[in-house]
Amino acid sequence: MSSDDKSASVPIEPIGTAQRAQVIAATQAWVDRAVALLAQPLALPTVLFDLSGGSAGMFRVQGASCSIRYNPWIFARHFDENLQHTVPHEVAHYVVHMRYPRRRLKPHGPQWQQVMQLFGRPPRVTFDLALDGVPMRRQRRHPYHCGCREHAVSTVRHNRMREGRARYLCRYCSGVLRPAG
């Protein structure tokens, strides 16, 4: 194993205060650019660094408040790439939300693509960079069985069955899945 292979698997540290300040400043700069391009007043949404898993960023609306959440581990792994692409991507979601309030639009639909084009950024949807060393959420599996075998059921499906909101069948024997044990 080369030294590069070893370093790639070592967990990385999330971005610190100085880089977080850079991300907030970049977010503000993209909001300011949207204000100038669209002549629409926009305030800086709440910027959080609490996202984990395989997503670099997320725009979220809760009630009347908006926030942009960034993954500090993915930013640490690919800082410049995320400043160039993730920040304007999430700000574009915010801009679309503010321009078309109370409308159900496709997240990466024509309105979002138009804002990305105004920003001079490609309307990329997927994040395809290496995530070695980035902590990932692992979904717990729950043991279930049917008439022919054992099954590992996701927490979401487990909760749906436990609460009586869903029933799942085995694709091999068509038996109802039941909790093991």
- Name the DSSP letter for residue 85: I
Specify which residues 144 forms β-bridges with: 151, 179
| Residue 86 CB coordination number (10 Å) | 24
> Which positions are catalytic?
90
| Residue 99 CB coordination number (10 Å) | 16
Instruction: Report the alpha-carbon distance of residue 49 to residue 133 in Å, rounded.
Output: 17
Both tokens assigned to 133:
């060393």
